[in-house]
């Protein structure tokens, strides 16, 4: 088949996820829960036929990808184009902080204005263009194969919208859980198509993993 199968994975949990802080390009590490989630995801995909793993260079994604590479044996390559959306001066803050200081900007952000970019940050339009470009570049190298992309919530949201042809301003009705396993198909003619989304069944398998902590 003239297609590339893609498994897209969000990184494991960080303390800034728990604290609802805006991460963006800030290089935050996984917390203990995030490391456990990465091991569980990796165990679930250990026998999956993967020809290559590509990861954002930010350590929360890279540590998640490394767990998968260690379990699966597939080659791991770092690609900074898979980074989260850059939130510029908003990084480290909570949405409520931005809303209190810049209510008009926060309203544009809440309404998903495609052209809105935080100071020194990236717009949704720019993020979508970046992700569409990197997916085309990577998937076109692996026709007839399966690859994994380990990235971030904003990246996965963009992949879902590209695969389902949903507008950037469409309300989100899909999950972006940490270490969720999401399956897509890419073809040169049609781009991305959705195969399966939001599988977190591996996170229910906690018993044996807790014994190895």
CB count in 10 Å sphere of residue 1:
8
Residue 113 to residue 204: CA distance in whole angstroms: 36
Strand, helix or coil for residue 109: helix
Residue 127 to residue 145: CA distance in whole angstroms: 26
11, 25, 142, 152: the catalytic one is: 11
Residue 95 to residue 90: CA distance in whole angstroms: 8
Sequence-ordered list of residues with C-beta below 8 angstroms from that of 107, at least 6 positions apart, any chain: none
> Does the active-site annotation cover 210?
no
Phi, psi (deg, nearest 5) at residue 175: -85, 150
CA 171 to chain centre: 18
Partnered with residue 181 across adjacent β-strands are 9, 199
13, 25, 84, 91: the catalytic one is: 84
> Does the active-site annotation cover 122?
no
Which residues have a catalytic role annotated? 11, 84
């Amino acid at each position: 088949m003239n297609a590339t199968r893609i498994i897209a994975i969000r990184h494991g949990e960080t303390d800034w996820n728990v604290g609802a802080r805006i991460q963006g390009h800030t290089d935050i590490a996984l917390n203990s829960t995030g490391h456990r989630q990465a091991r569980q995801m990796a165990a679930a995909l250990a026998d999956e036929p993967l020809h290559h793993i590509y990861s954002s260079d930010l350590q929360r994604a890279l540590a998640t990808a490394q767990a998968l590479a260690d379990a699966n044996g597939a080659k791991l390559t770092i690609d900074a184009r898979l980074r989260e959306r850059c939130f510029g001066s908003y990084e480290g803050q909570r949405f409520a902080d931005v809303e209190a200081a810049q209510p008009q900007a926060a309203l544009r952000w809440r309404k998903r204005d495609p052209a809105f970019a935080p100071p020194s940050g990236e717009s949704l339009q720019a993020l979508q263009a970046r992700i569409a470009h990197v997916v085309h570049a990577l998937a076109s190298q692996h026709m007839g194969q399966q690859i994994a992309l380990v990235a971030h919530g904003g990246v996965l949201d963009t992949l879902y919208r590209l695969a389902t042809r949903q507008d950037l301003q469409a309300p989100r009705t899909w999950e972006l859980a940490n270490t969720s396993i999401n399956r897509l198909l890419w073809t040169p003619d049609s781009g991305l198509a959705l195969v399966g989304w939001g599988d977190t069944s591996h996170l229910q398998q906690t018993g044996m993993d807790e014994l190895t902590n």
